[in-house]
Every structure is written in structure tokens, then in C-alpha cells.
Amino acid sequence: MKNWGEEHSSFIPSEGLDERAKKILKAHLNPDGSIRQIPAPPKLQVVLNYLVQFFEFNTNYTEKEVNAILKRFNEDTAGLRRDLVDANLLARISDGSRYWRVNEDSK
């Protein structure tokens, strides 16, 4: 899992991102990397791509664990969790008891 925490004094987007994505993240994230404002689509996809990097591939998460990760970024854990599943970045079994990060190859 990528590091995230109080040691971040200001959010700096990854160098690998295009200028549009960097601008969207800077506009919607606080200096600590948490989400200031959840944008509407299509900008939402950039924020979801940012969030999914905090989930490991080949790891199963309970709903509680997913919520704990997302809560570091925003209080709307249910909405973000649903958005990540709808964007096919996370998958879940129908009862919501297990979530996992979707591999690029399986999309």
C-alpha cells in the first residue's frame, strides 16, 4: 500500500500524470492529500484513479477495511466505495463482504 499520512505537508501529484489530471487533483485535494471536494464526472475518474492506488492488488478487503482506507480521504466512504466499484477499479462480491482491486488485464 502506498504511504499516506500526516507527514505530507503538501500534496504533490505524481510526475507520471498528465497536466489535466494534475490540475484536477490540485483543485480537489487538500494539502495532506485528502479530498476537499468530490468532483462530478468526468473529473471524478481522476480522483478515483488517485484513490485506487492505496489498495493493493491480490488483496481481499472487507467493507470495513475499504471504509477505513477511504475515510482517510473523505467522510463519504459509501459514495466513494460505490464510485470505485462502478468505475471498475474495485470489485466486490454481491453481499459486499469482500472487495479487491481490479487488475488492468481483467477490465
pLDDT tens track for 64-87: 999 999 999 999 999 999 999 999
Neighbours of 10 (CB within 10 A): 9
All structural domains of the chain, each given as residue ranges with its CATH number in brackets, are: 19-106 (1.10.10)
Determine the average pLDDT of the residues in 32-44: 96
pLDDT of residue 107: 54
Length of the chain: 107
Share of the chain above pLDDT 90, in %: 79
Supply φ then ψ for residue 87, to 5 degrees. Answer: -85, 5
Cβ(81)–Cβ(67) below 8 Å: yes
Condensed to tens digits (0 to 9), the pLDDT of residues 7-23 reads 445 788 888 899 999 99
pLDDT of residue 19: 95
